[in-house]
Structure 1
Amino acid sequence: MRFLFALLMAAIAQPALGDDGGTKPTTLEPVSPWSLDYAETHCRLSRLFGDKDHPTVFFLEQYYPDSTFRWVVGGPKVGNIASGAEVRFQFGPGAKISQLGYTKLDLGDFGKGFSTQGPEVTESEPLMIKDDGAKGDDQSKEPQSQAVAGIPHLKSEIGRSIDWLALEPNSGNEVRLSLGNMQKPFEAMNQCTENLASHFGVDVAAQKVRRKGPIWSNRMDVIPMLFAAHPLELPRGGPKATFTLILLIDANGKPTNCQMIPMTAESNNWDKELACKILARRASFEPAIGADGERQASFYGTQVSFVLR
Protein backbone atom coordinates (compact mmCIF):
# COMPACT_ATOMS: atom_id res chain seq x y z
CA MET A 1 0.00 0.00 0.00
CA ARG A 2 1.50 3.34 -1.09
CA PHE A 3 0.65 6.38 1.00
CA LEU A 4 1.15 10.08 1.68
CA PHE A 5 2.80 11.62 4.71
CA ALA A 6 4.26 14.95 5.78
CA LEU A 7 7.94 15.57 6.44
CA LEU A 8 8.43 17.92 9.37
CA MET A 9 11.96 19.27 8.99
CA ALA A 10 13.90 21.26 11.53
CA ALA A 11 14.22 24.89 10.50
CA ILE A 12 17.60 25.61 8.97
CA ALA A 13 18.91 29.15 8.58
CA GLN A 14 19.07 30.34 4.97
CA PRO A 15 22.22 32.00 3.65
CA ALA A 16 21.97 35.77 3.38
CA LEU A 17 21.07 36.98 -0.09
CA GLY A 18 24.15 38.30 -1.82
CA ASP A 19 24.08 41.90 -2.97
CA ASP A 20 26.11 42.34 -6.16
CA GLY A 21 24.92 45.88 -6.63
CA GLY A 22 21.84 44.83 -8.60
CA THR A 23 18.26 44.26 -7.53
CA LYS A 24 17.83 41.61 -4.86
CA PRO A 25 15.72 38.60 -5.81
CA THR A 26 12.08 38.24 -4.83
CA THR A 27 12.26 35.56 -2.14
CA LEU A 28 9.31 33.27 -1.44
CA GLU A 29 9.33 31.65 1.98
CA PRO A 30 7.61 28.28 2.65
CA VAL A 31 4.02 28.35 3.90
CA SER A 32 3.72 24.56 4.33
CA PRO A 33 5.94 21.66 5.43
CA TRP A 34 7.32 19.21 2.87
CA SER A 35 4.84 16.51 1.89
CA LEU A 36 6.02 13.21 0.39
CA ASP A 37 3.59 11.19 -1.74
CA TYR A 38 4.28 7.45 -1.97
CA ALA A 39 2.15 6.99 -5.13
CA GLU A 40 1.73 3.84 -7.23
CA THR A 41 4.02 5.02 -10.03
CA HIS A 42 6.16 7.79 -8.52
CA CYS A 43 7.51 9.58 -5.47
CA ARG A 44 6.68 13.27 -5.18
CA LEU A 45 7.91 15.88 -2.70
CA SER A 46 5.84 19.04 -2.63
CA ARG A 47 5.84 22.33 -0.76
CA LEU A 48 4.00 25.66 -0.99
CA PHE A 49 5.68 29.08 -0.96
CA GLY A 50 4.79 32.77 -0.80
CA ASP A 51 1.16 33.78 -0.25
CA LYS A 52 -1.07 31.20 1.48
CA ASP A 53 -4.09 32.39 -0.51
CA HIS A 54 -2.25 32.37 -3.87
CA PRO A 55 0.75 30.10 -3.31
CA THR A 56 3.60 29.04 -5.54
CA VAL A 57 3.94 25.24 -5.66
CA PHE A 58 7.13 23.20 -6.08
CA PHE A 59 7.20 19.46 -6.86
CA LEU A 60 10.22 17.18 -6.97
CA GLU A 61 9.45 13.84 -8.65
CA GLN A 62 11.14 10.49 -9.32
CA TYR A 63 9.76 7.35 -10.97
CA TYR A 64 12.63 4.99 -10.12
CA PRO A 65 15.89 5.25 -8.13
CA ASP A 66 18.10 7.79 -9.90
CA SER A 67 20.66 10.52 -9.28
CA THR A 68 18.52 13.23 -10.87
CA PHE A 69 14.86 14.22 -10.71
CA ARG A 70 12.03 15.97 -12.52
CA TRP A 71 10.86 19.17 -10.89
CA VAL A 72 7.76 21.30 -11.39
CA VAL A 73 7.07 24.85 -10.29
CA GLY A 74 4.00 27.01 -10.81
CA GLY A 75 1.95 29.86 -9.44
CA PRO A 76 1.39 33.58 -9.87
CA LYS A 77 5.02 34.55 -9.16
CA VAL A 78 6.70 32.02 -11.46
CA GLY A 79 4.18 30.79 -14.04
CA ASN A 80 5.41 33.14 -16.78
CA ILE A 81 9.14 32.89 -16.08
CA ALA A 82 9.72 30.14 -18.65
CA SER A 83 9.73 31.67 -22.14
CA GLY A 84 11.80 30.98 -25.19
CA ALA A 85 13.53 27.63 -25.70
CA GLU A 86 15.11 27.22 -22.26
CA VAL A 87 14.79 28.26 -18.63
CA ARG A 88 17.74 29.42 -16.51
CA PHE A 89 17.86 28.26 -12.88
CA GLN A 90 20.10 27.31 -9.98
CA PHE A 91 19.68 24.97 -7.02
CA GLY A 92 21.93 27.00 -4.78
CA PRO A 93 24.29 27.67 -3.45
CA GLY A 94 25.86 24.27 -4.15
CA ALA A 95 24.71 23.38 -7.68
CA LYS A 96 25.84 25.25 -10.77
CA ILE A 97 23.62 27.54 -12.83
CA SER A 98 21.79 25.53 -15.49
CA GLN A 99 19.89 26.41 -18.63
CA LEU A 100 17.61 23.66 -19.93
CA GLY A 101 14.57 22.97 -22.04
CA TYR A 102 11.23 22.70 -20.26
CA THR A 103 7.59 21.71 -20.67
CA LYS A 104 4.84 24.26 -19.97
CA LEU A 105 2.06 22.99 -17.71
CA ASP A 106 -1.40 23.98 -16.53
CA LEU A 107 -1.39 23.28 -12.78
CA GLY A 108 -5.08 23.86 -12.17
CA ASP A 109 -5.73 26.00 -9.11
CA PHE A 110 -2.04 26.96 -8.97
CA GLY A 111 -2.13 28.43 -12.48
CA LYS A 112 0.64 28.27 -15.06
CA GLY A 113 3.86 26.36 -14.47
CA PHE A 114 6.59 24.34 -16.12
CA SER A 115 8.73 21.26 -15.56
CA THR A 116 12.34 20.32 -16.29
CA GLN A 117 15.21 18.19 -14.91
CA GLY A 118 17.95 18.95 -12.41
CA PRO A 119 20.35 19.48 -10.90
CA GLU A 120 22.31 16.41 -12.14
CA VAL A 121 20.65 16.19 -15.55
CA THR A 122 23.97 15.43 -17.30
CA GLU A 123 23.96 11.96 -15.72
CA SER A 124 20.53 10.93 -17.01
CA GLU A 125 19.47 12.93 -20.03
CA PRO A 126 16.13 12.27 -21.74
CA LEU A 127 16.25 10.79 -25.23
CA MET A 128 14.72 12.92 -27.99
CA ILE A 129 13.31 11.33 -31.13
CA LYS A 130 12.31 13.47 -34.13
CA ASP A 131 9.52 12.53 -36.52
CA ASP A 132 11.84 11.21 -39.24
CA GLY A 133 13.76 8.97 -36.82
CA ALA A 134 16.95 10.99 -37.29
CA LYS A 135 19.29 11.34 -34.39
CA GLY A 136 18.66 14.38 -32.23
CA ASP A 137 21.40 16.35 -30.53
CA ASP A 138 21.13 14.38 -27.30
CA GLN A 139 20.55 10.94 -28.85
CA SER A 140 24.22 10.02 -28.87
CA LYS A 141 24.42 10.08 -25.09
CA GLU A 142 23.54 6.89 -23.23
CA PRO A 143 22.18 7.81 -19.76
CA GLN A 144 24.88 6.68 -17.34
CA SER A 145 23.10 6.95 -14.00
CA GLN A 146 21.52 3.49 -14.45
CA ALA A 147 24.89 1.82 -15.17
CA VAL A 148 26.61 2.81 -11.92
CA ALA A 149 27.78 0.51 -9.15
CA GLY A 150 25.16 0.19 -6.43
CA ILE A 151 21.63 1.52 -6.75
CA PRO A 152 21.32 5.06 -8.20
CA HIS A 153 20.19 7.65 -5.66
CA LEU A 154 20.07 11.35 -4.84
CA LYS A 155 23.33 12.22 -3.14
CA SER A 156 23.09 13.49 0.42
CA GLU A 157 26.12 15.74 -0.06
CA ILE A 158 24.40 17.48 -2.97
CA GLY A 159 21.21 17.90 -0.96
CA ARG A 160 23.26 19.31 1.91
CA SER A 161 24.60 22.01 -0.46
CA ILE A 162 21.14 23.18 -1.60
CA ASP A 163 18.98 25.69 0.29
CA TRP A 164 17.11 27.51 -2.47
CA LEU A 165 15.97 27.45 -6.08
CA ALA A 166 16.58 30.60 -8.11
CA LEU A 167 14.64 31.20 -11.33
CA GLU A 168 15.80 33.85 -13.77
CA PRO A 169 13.24 35.33 -16.18
CA ASN A 170 14.18 36.93 -19.51
CA SER A 171 13.24 40.26 -17.97
CA GLY A 172 12.45 41.38 -14.45
CA ASN A 173 13.73 40.24 -11.09
CA GLU A 174 15.00 36.81 -10.12
CA VAL A 175 12.56 34.75 -8.05
CA ARG A 176 13.99 32.55 -5.31
CA LEU A 177 12.20 29.75 -3.43
CA SER A 178 13.59 29.18 0.08
CA LEU A 179 13.51 25.39 -0.07
CA GLY A 180 15.38 24.82 3.18
CA ASN A 181 18.30 22.42 3.33
CA MET A 182 17.62 19.49 0.98
CA GLN A 183 19.68 16.71 2.60
CA LYS A 184 16.79 15.15 4.54
CA PRO A 185 14.27 15.56 1.69
CA PHE A 186 16.76 13.84 -0.66
CA GLU A 187 17.21 10.98 1.82
CA ALA A 188 13.43 10.63 2.17
CA MET A 189 13.09 10.48 -1.62
CA ASN A 190 15.72 7.72 -1.78
CA GLN A 191 13.72 5.65 0.71
CA CYS A 192 10.56 6.22 -1.31
CA THR A 193 12.08 5.24 -4.67
CA GLU A 194 13.64 2.11 -3.19
CA ASN A 195 10.18 1.18 -1.90
CA LEU A 196 8.77 1.97 -5.35
CA ALA A 197 11.38 -0.25 -7.06
CA SER A 198 10.64 -3.10 -4.64
CA HIS A 199 6.93 -2.70 -5.42
CA PHE A 200 7.80 -3.11 -9.13
CA GLY A 201 9.72 -6.34 -8.46
CA VAL A 202 13.31 -5.13 -8.02
CA ASP A 203 15.59 -6.87 -5.49
CA VAL A 204 16.79 -3.62 -3.90
CA ALA A 205 19.29 -5.31 -1.56
CA ALA A 206 21.04 -6.97 -4.51
CA GLN A 207 21.10 -3.69 -6.46
CA LYS A 208 22.79 -1.86 -3.60
CA VAL A 209 25.87 -4.10 -3.84
CA ARG A 210 25.99 -4.63 -7.62
CA ARG A 211 29.23 -3.81 -9.42
CA LYS A 212 27.55 -2.37 -12.52
CA GLY A 213 24.04 -1.63 -13.72
CA PRO A 214 22.57 -2.63 -17.11
CA ILE A 215 23.38 -0.78 -20.36
CA TRP A 216 20.88 -0.64 -23.23
CA SER A 217 23.09 -1.80 -26.10
CA ASN A 218 20.64 -1.26 -29.00
CA ARG A 219 18.80 1.76 -27.64
CA MET A 220 19.22 3.86 -30.81
CA ASP A 221 17.69 1.10 -32.94
CA VAL A 222 14.70 0.27 -30.74
CA ILE A 223 13.37 3.68 -29.67
CA PRO A 224 12.53 4.74 -33.27
CA MET A 225 10.56 1.48 -33.61
CA LEU A 226 8.22 2.69 -30.88
CA PHE A 227 7.53 5.87 -32.79
CA ALA A 228 7.07 4.05 -36.11
CA ALA A 229 4.61 1.57 -34.57
CA HIS A 230 2.40 4.28 -33.09
CA PRO A 231 2.99 7.73 -34.63
CA LEU A 232 1.41 10.48 -32.57
CA GLU A 233 -0.73 13.25 -33.98
CA LEU A 234 1.37 16.17 -32.80
CA PRO A 235 1.58 19.65 -34.32
CA ARG A 236 4.97 20.39 -35.84
CA GLY A 237 7.07 22.43 -33.48
CA GLY A 238 4.49 21.79 -30.78
CA PRO A 239 4.62 20.05 -27.39
CA LYS A 240 6.56 16.84 -26.84
CA ALA A 241 5.00 13.48 -26.06
CA THR A 242 7.11 12.35 -23.11
CA PHE A 243 7.15 9.04 -21.26
CA THR A 244 9.01 7.51 -18.36
CA LEU A 245 10.12 3.99 -19.26
CA ILE A 246 10.96 1.40 -16.57
CA LEU A 247 12.11 -2.13 -17.43
CA LEU A 248 13.04 -5.17 -15.40
CA ILE A 249 16.07 -6.83 -17.04
CA ASP A 250 16.99 -10.48 -16.48
CA ALA A 251 20.50 -11.89 -16.12
CA ASN A 252 20.63 -12.50 -19.90
CA GLY A 253 19.91 -8.85 -20.70
CA LYS A 254 16.28 -9.27 -21.82
CA PRO A 255 13.32 -7.22 -20.54
CA THR A 256 10.90 -9.25 -18.41
CA ASN A 257 8.54 -6.48 -17.27
CA CYS A 258 7.73 -3.06 -18.66
CA GLN A 259 6.06 0.10 -17.46
CA MET A 260 5.47 3.20 -19.62
CA ILE A 261 4.17 6.23 -17.75
CA PRO A 262 2.77 9.20 -19.74
CA MET A 263 4.36 12.46 -18.60
CA THR A 264 2.49 14.92 -20.85
CA ALA A 265 -1.08 15.21 -22.13
CA GLU A 266 0.21 14.48 -25.66
CA SER A 267 1.28 10.98 -24.58
CA ASN A 268 -2.00 9.85 -22.99
CA ASN A 269 -3.26 8.02 -26.10
CA TRP A 270 -0.08 6.01 -26.58
CA ASP A 271 -0.53 2.23 -26.91
CA LYS A 272 1.64 1.23 -23.96
CA GLU A 273 0.94 -2.50 -24.36
CA LEU A 274 2.18 -2.42 -27.97
CA ALA A 275 5.29 -0.47 -26.96
CA CYS A 276 6.13 -2.96 -24.21
CA LYS A 277 5.73 -5.86 -26.66
CA ILE A 278 8.22 -4.21 -29.01
CA LEU A 279 10.65 -3.68 -26.16
CA ALA A 280 10.30 -7.30 -25.01
CA ARG A 281 11.06 -8.60 -28.51
CA ARG A 282 13.71 -6.11 -29.63
CA ALA A 283 15.50 -4.50 -26.70
CA SER A 284 18.86 -5.94 -25.69
CA PHE A 285 20.94 -5.00 -22.65
CA GLU A 286 24.36 -5.67 -21.27
CA PRO A 287 23.17 -7.20 -17.99
CA ALA A 288 24.03 -5.89 -14.55
CA ILE A 289 27.00 -7.41 -12.75
CA GLY A 290 26.40 -8.49 -9.15
CA ALA A 291 28.68 -8.34 -6.13
CA ASP A 292 29.99 -11.84 -6.99
CA GLY A 293 31.05 -10.76 -10.49
CA GLU A 294 28.24 -12.72 -12.15
CA ARG A 295 25.40 -11.43 -14.29
CA GLN A 296 22.28 -10.55 -12.32
CA ALA A 297 18.74 -9.35 -12.87
CA SER A 298 18.27 -5.59 -12.49
CA PHE A 299 16.15 -2.65 -13.67
CA TYR A 300 16.53 0.20 -16.15
CA GLY A 301 14.78 3.57 -16.16
CA THR A 302 14.86 6.42 -18.64
CA GLN A 303 12.72 9.18 -20.16
CA VAL A 304 11.81 9.29 -23.85
CA SER A 305 10.36 12.24 -25.78
CA PHE A 306 8.85 12.32 -29.26
CA VAL A 307 8.53 15.64 -31.10
CA LEU A 308 7.61 16.72 -34.63
CA ARG A 309 10.04 19.26 -36.10
Structure 2
Amino acid sequence: MLIFLTSFPVAAKSDETPLEPSSGWKLNYSKASCELSRNFGTEENEILFAIVQGPKFGSSELILITPQIGIKGIYSKADLLLSNGTKLDRRHTRIYPGSQEGKSIWRVFNVNTSFMNNGKQGDILTIDSDKASTVALRVGDLSPPAKALEKCQRDLFQTMGMNYDQLASLKQFPKPKGNSGRWVMATDYPKAAYKERREGKTQFRLDVDQNGKVENCAILVSSGHADLDRETCRKAVSRARFSPALDENNQPTAAPWVSAARWQVPR
Protein backbone atom coordinates (compact mmCIF):
# COMPACT_ATOMS: atom_id res chain seq x y z
CA MET A 1 0.00 0.00 0.00
CA LEU A 2 1.23 3.47 -0.86
CA ILE A 3 0.12 6.27 1.45
CA PHE A 4 0.14 9.82 0.11
CA LEU A 5 0.34 12.65 2.62
CA THR A 6 0.79 16.26 1.62
CA SER A 7 -0.06 18.23 4.75
CA PHE A 8 1.82 16.47 7.55
CA PRO A 9 4.45 13.72 8.02
CA VAL A 10 3.73 10.25 9.32
CA ALA A 11 5.93 7.41 10.57
CA ALA A 12 5.88 4.07 8.78
CA LYS A 13 3.28 1.76 10.33
CA SER A 14 4.05 -1.83 11.21
CA ASP A 15 0.70 -3.04 9.81
CA GLU A 16 1.11 -1.49 6.36
CA THR A 17 0.77 -3.96 3.49
CA PRO A 18 3.94 -3.64 1.39
CA LEU A 19 3.91 -3.66 -2.40
CA GLU A 20 4.90 -7.05 -3.82
CA PRO A 21 7.39 -7.46 -6.69
CA SER A 22 5.79 -7.50 -10.15
CA SER A 23 8.98 -8.16 -12.14
CA GLY A 24 12.43 -9.63 -11.69
CA TRP A 25 15.56 -7.60 -10.97
CA LYS A 26 17.13 -5.96 -14.02
CA LEU A 27 20.73 -4.70 -14.23
CA ASN A 28 21.63 -1.91 -16.67
CA TYR A 29 25.24 -1.01 -17.46
CA SER A 30 26.41 2.35 -18.79
CA LYS A 31 29.72 4.24 -18.99
CA ALA A 32 28.68 6.33 -16.00
CA SER A 33 26.79 3.99 -13.65
CA CYS A 34 25.32 0.61 -12.75
CA GLU A 35 21.54 0.53 -12.20
CA LEU A 36 19.66 -2.30 -10.50
CA SER A 37 15.87 -1.99 -10.86
CA ARG A 38 12.62 -3.82 -10.19
CA ASN A 39 8.88 -3.08 -10.43
CA PHE A 40 6.59 -3.36 -7.42
CA GLY A 41 2.78 -3.28 -7.30
CA THR A 42 0.44 -3.23 -10.26
CA GLU A 43 -1.62 -0.79 -12.33
CA GLU A 44 -2.23 2.53 -10.56
CA ASN A 45 -0.03 1.55 -7.61
CA GLU A 46 2.98 0.36 -9.65
CA ILE A 47 6.38 1.69 -8.57
CA LEU A 48 9.75 1.37 -10.27
CA PHE A 49 12.52 1.07 -7.67
CA ALA A 50 16.18 1.49 -8.71
CA ILE A 51 19.55 1.43 -6.95
CA VAL A 52 22.09 3.46 -8.93
CA GLN A 53 25.85 3.22 -8.32
CA GLY A 54 27.96 5.92 -9.95
CA PRO A 55 31.71 6.59 -9.71
CA LYS A 56 31.60 7.29 -5.95
CA PHE A 57 32.40 4.05 -4.10
CA GLY A 58 29.96 2.85 -1.40
CA SER A 59 27.44 5.63 -1.97
CA SER A 60 24.40 4.97 -4.13
CA GLU A 61 21.28 6.84 -5.12
CA LEU A 62 17.80 5.34 -4.77
CA ILE A 63 15.30 6.31 -7.45
CA LEU A 64 11.56 5.60 -7.31
CA ILE A 65 8.97 6.38 -9.98
CA THR A 66 5.64 6.51 -8.19
CA PRO A 67 2.09 7.80 -8.69
CA GLN A 68 2.18 11.60 -8.63
CA ILE A 69 2.69 13.46 -5.35
CA GLY A 70 1.77 17.13 -5.70
CA ILE A 71 2.64 19.41 -8.62
CA LYS A 72 5.79 21.05 -7.27
CA GLY A 73 9.19 19.78 -6.18
CA ILE A 74 9.50 18.65 -2.56
CA TYR A 75 12.79 18.68 -0.69
CA SER A 76 12.80 16.55 2.45
CA LYS A 77 14.66 13.94 4.44
CA ALA A 78 13.65 10.31 4.31
CA ASP A 79 14.15 7.50 6.83
CA LEU A 80 15.12 4.12 5.40
CA LEU A 81 14.09 1.12 7.51
CA LEU A 82 14.13 -2.66 7.15
CA SER A 83 11.20 -4.79 8.31
CA ASN A 84 12.80 -5.60 11.67
CA GLY A 85 12.54 -1.90 12.53
CA THR A 86 16.25 -1.19 12.11
CA LYS A 87 16.81 2.36 10.90
CA LEU A 88 19.30 2.26 8.05
CA ASP A 89 19.83 5.87 7.19
CA ARG A 90 18.30 9.35 7.05
CA ARG A 91 19.02 10.91 3.70
CA HIS A 92 18.29 14.06 1.73
CA THR A 93 15.47 13.40 -0.73
CA ARG A 94 14.00 15.26 -3.68
CA ILE A 95 10.54 14.40 -5.04
CA TYR A 96 9.36 16.10 -8.22
CA PRO A 97 6.89 15.61 -11.10
CA GLY A 98 8.18 13.18 -13.72
CA SER A 99 8.05 13.45 -17.50
CA GLN A 100 5.31 10.80 -17.53
CA GLU A 101 1.88 12.22 -16.80
CA GLY A 102 0.65 11.28 -13.33
CA LYS A 103 4.10 10.18 -12.11
CA SER A 104 6.59 11.51 -9.57
CA ILE A 105 10.30 10.80 -9.28
CA TRP A 106 11.99 10.29 -5.91
CA ARG A 107 15.76 10.72 -5.61
CA VAL A 108 17.28 9.61 -2.28
CA PHE A 109 20.92 10.69 -2.17
CA ASN A 110 24.14 9.15 -0.78
CA VAL A 111 22.71 5.88 0.52
CA ASN A 112 25.14 3.34 1.98
CA THR A 113 24.68 0.12 0.00
CA SER A 114 25.44 -2.15 2.99
CA PHE A 115 21.67 -2.60 3.48
CA MET A 116 21.75 -4.94 0.49
CA ASN A 117 23.43 -7.57 2.66
CA ASN A 118 20.16 -8.19 4.53
CA GLY A 119 19.92 -11.89 3.62
CA LYS A 120 16.19 -12.24 4.43
CA GLN A 121 13.70 -13.67 1.95
CA GLY A 122 10.70 -11.64 3.14
CA ASP A 123 12.42 -8.39 4.03
CA ILE A 124 10.56 -5.10 3.59
CA LEU A 125 12.24 -1.80 2.82
CA THR A 126 10.33 1.30 3.97
CA ILE A 127 11.18 4.79 2.71
CA ASP A 128 9.42 7.38 4.85
CA SER A 129 9.61 11.00 3.66
CA ASP A 130 8.96 13.53 6.42
CA LYS A 131 7.10 15.87 4.04
CA ALA A 132 5.40 13.70 1.47
CA SER A 133 4.69 9.99 1.69
CA THR A 134 5.64 6.49 2.83
CA VAL A 135 6.57 3.66 0.45
CA ALA A 136 6.90 0.05 1.64
CA LEU A 137 8.40 -2.55 -0.73
CA ARG A 138 8.89 -6.28 -0.17
CA VAL A 139 12.45 -6.37 -1.51
CA GLY A 140 13.25 -9.81 -0.11
CA ASP A 141 16.80 -11.11 0.01
CA LEU A 142 18.95 -8.56 -1.81
CA SER A 143 22.13 -10.65 -1.64
CA PRO A 144 21.85 -12.27 -5.13
CA PRO A 145 21.16 -9.00 -7.02
CA ALA A 146 23.84 -7.33 -4.87
CA LYS A 147 26.42 -9.75 -6.31
CA ALA A 148 25.42 -8.78 -9.85
CA LEU A 149 25.63 -5.11 -8.94
CA GLU A 150 29.09 -5.63 -7.41
CA LYS A 151 30.34 -7.25 -10.63
CA CYS A 152 29.08 -4.24 -12.59
CA GLN A 153 30.75 -1.91 -10.08
CA ARG A 154 34.07 -3.71 -10.43
CA ASP A 155 33.93 -3.28 -14.20
CA LEU A 156 32.84 0.35 -13.89
CA PHE A 157 35.62 1.29 -11.48
CA GLN A 158 38.23 -0.53 -13.55
CA THR A 159 37.30 1.49 -16.64
CA MET A 160 37.61 4.63 -14.49
CA GLY A 161 41.10 3.74 -13.26
CA MET A 162 40.12 2.65 -9.76
CA ASN A 163 40.65 -0.63 -7.90
CA TYR A 164 37.45 -1.98 -6.28
CA ASP A 165 39.25 -4.15 -3.71
CA GLN A 166 41.53 -1.31 -2.63
CA LEU A 167 38.56 1.01 -2.18
CA ALA A 168 36.66 -1.65 -0.21
CA SER A 169 39.61 -2.13 2.18
CA LEU A 170 40.01 1.53 3.14
CA LYS A 171 39.19 2.54 6.70
CA GLN A 172 38.84 6.14 5.56
CA PHE A 173 38.67 7.83 2.19
CA PRO A 174 40.56 11.08 1.56
CA LYS A 175 38.81 13.80 3.58
CA PRO A 176 38.48 17.27 2.04
CA LYS A 177 39.75 20.17 4.11
CA GLY A 178 37.26 23.01 3.93
CA ASN A 179 34.24 23.24 1.65
CA SER A 180 34.83 21.09 -1.44
CA GLY A 181 31.78 22.69 -3.04
CA ARG A 182 33.81 25.88 -3.47
CA TRP A 183 36.67 24.26 -5.37
CA VAL A 184 34.81 24.74 -8.68
CA MET A 185 32.37 27.66 -8.77
CA ALA A 186 30.15 29.54 -11.22
CA THR A 187 32.66 32.40 -11.21
CA ASP A 188 35.14 29.99 -12.83
CA TYR A 189 33.07 29.75 -16.02
CA PRO A 190 35.24 29.85 -19.16
CA LYS A 191 34.31 33.03 -21.06
CA ALA A 192 33.33 31.30 -24.31
CA ALA A 193 31.18 28.70 -22.54
CA TYR A 194 29.47 31.42 -20.49
CA LYS A 195 28.77 33.52 -23.57
CA GLU A 196 27.37 30.51 -25.42
CA ARG A 197 25.41 29.46 -22.26
CA ARG A 198 26.84 25.95 -22.38
CA GLU A 199 26.07 23.79 -19.36
CA GLY A 200 26.79 20.27 -18.10
CA LYS A 201 27.97 18.04 -15.27
CA THR A 202 31.62 16.93 -15.07
CA GLN A 203 32.39 13.90 -12.91
CA PHE A 204 36.06 13.70 -12.01
CA ARG A 205 38.64 11.78 -9.97
CA LEU A 206 41.44 13.32 -7.92
CA ASP A 207 44.37 11.03 -7.09
CA VAL A 208 45.46 11.92 -3.55
CA ASP A 209 48.82 10.72 -2.22
CA GLN A 210 49.66 9.48 1.30
CA ASN A 211 50.38 13.05 2.39
CA GLY A 212 47.01 14.40 1.21
CA LYS A 213 48.46 16.10 -1.87
CA VAL A 214 46.59 15.96 -5.19
CA GLU A 215 48.79 14.30 -7.82
CA ASN A 216 46.41 14.09 -10.76
CA CYS A 217 42.90 14.83 -12.02
CA ALA A 218 41.01 12.61 -14.46
CA ILE A 219 37.62 13.17 -16.11
CA LEU A 220 35.35 10.17 -15.48
CA VAL A 221 32.18 11.42 -17.19
CA SER A 222 32.41 14.44 -19.47
CA SER A 223 30.05 17.41 -19.34
CA GLY A 224 30.05 17.24 -23.12
CA HIS A 225 32.25 20.34 -23.33
CA ALA A 226 36.05 20.01 -23.26
CA ASP A 227 36.64 23.52 -21.87
CA LEU A 228 34.31 22.92 -18.90
CA ASP A 229 36.05 19.62 -18.18
CA ARG A 230 39.52 21.21 -18.37
CA GLU A 231 38.49 24.03 -16.04
CA THR A 232 37.03 21.53 -13.57
CA CYS A 233 40.37 19.74 -13.24
CA ARG A 234 42.42 22.94 -13.26
CA LYS A 235 40.49 24.52 -10.40
CA ALA A 236 40.11 21.31 -8.40
CA VAL A 237 43.86 20.56 -8.51
CA SER A 238 44.80 24.11 -7.50
CA ARG A 239 42.28 24.43 -4.66
CA ALA A 240 41.73 20.94 -3.25
CA ARG A 241 43.29 20.04 0.11
CA PHE A 242 42.92 16.69 1.88
CA SER A 243 43.66 14.60 4.90
CA PRO A 244 44.93 11.33 3.38
CA ALA A 245 43.04 8.06 3.19
CA LEU A 246 43.72 5.36 5.80
CA ASP A 247 44.32 1.71 4.93
CA GLU A 248 43.15 -1.34 6.89
CA ASN A 249 46.00 -0.77 9.37
CA ASN A 250 45.04 2.89 9.87
CA GLN A 251 48.13 4.01 7.95
CA PRO A 252 48.02 6.94 5.48
CA THR A 253 47.80 5.71 1.91
CA ALA A 254 47.23 6.99 -1.61
CA ALA A 255 43.62 6.75 -2.81
CA PRO A 256 41.22 8.43 -5.25
CA TRP A 257 38.51 10.95 -4.35
CA VAL A 258 35.54 11.28 -6.68
CA SER A 259 33.16 14.20 -7.11
CA ALA A 260 31.25 16.23 -9.70
CA ALA A 261 31.00 19.85 -10.78
CA ARG A 262 27.69 21.05 -12.22
CA TRP A 263 28.19 23.89 -14.66
CA GLN A 264 25.08 26.06 -14.84
CA VAL A 265 24.89 29.62 -16.13
CA PRO A 266 23.66 31.89 -13.30
CA ARG A 267 20.12 33.11 -13.89
Please tell me the TM-score bracket, short chain as reference. 0.5 to 0.7
CA distance in 2, matches of 1:97, 1:205: 24
* Percent identical residues: 16
Structure with the larger strand share: 2
Q: Cα offset for 1:186?
A: 3.5
Counterpart of 2:254 (choices 294, 297, 306) is 297
3-state SS, counterpart of residue 102 of structure 1: strand
Let me know the Cα RMSD of the aligned residues: 4.2
Equivalence map 1:181-196=2 (5 Å): 181-196=141-156
Q: Deviations over 1:156-188 (max 9, x none)?
A: 6754475323445857x7442222233333343
Farther off after superposition, 82-91 or 186-195: 82-91
Matched positions, count:
241
CA distance in 1, matches of 2:252, 2:80: 39
Do 1:163 and 1:182's aligned partners in 2 also have CA atoms closer than 8 Å?
Answer: no
Counterpart for residue 179 of structure 2:
220
3-state SS, counterpart of residue 40 of structure 1: coil
Q: Cα offset for 1:277?
A: 1.8
Q: Deviations over 1:58-115 (max 9, x none)?
A: 111111353332111113x355498643154433223357463415363548833121
3-state SS, counterpart of residue 233 of structure 2: helix
Residues 1:294 and 1:46: Cα distance change in structure 2 (over 3 Å): same
Counterpart of 1:177 (choices 137, 154, 160) is 137
Code of the residue aligned with 1:247 in structure 2: it is L
Counterpart for residue 147 of structure 1:
none
Counterpart of 2:114 (choices 155, 162, 183) is 155
CA distance in 2, matches of 1:242, 1:91: 32
Counterpart for residue 24 of structure 2:
33
Q: TM-score, normalised by structure 2?
A: 0.67
Equivalence map 1:115-264=2 (5 Å): 115-117=107-109, 119-120=111-112, 154-155=113-114, 159-160=118-119, 163-167=124-128, 174-210=134-170, 212-217=172-177, 219-220=178-179, 223-230=182-189, 245-251=204-210, 253-259=213-219, 261=221
Equivalence map 1:273-284=2 (5 Å): 273-284=230-241
Q: Cα offset for 1:33?
A: 0.9
Counterpart of 1:85 (choices 65, 75, 93) is 75
Q: Cα offset for 1:18?
A: 3.1
Do 2:76 and 2:130's aligned partners in 1 also have CA atoms closer than 8 Å?
Answer: no
Do 2:202 and 2:219's aligned partners in 1 also have CA atoms closer than 8 Å?
Answer: no
Q: Cα offset for 1:230?
A: 2.5
Code of the residue aligned with 2:125 in structure 1: it is W
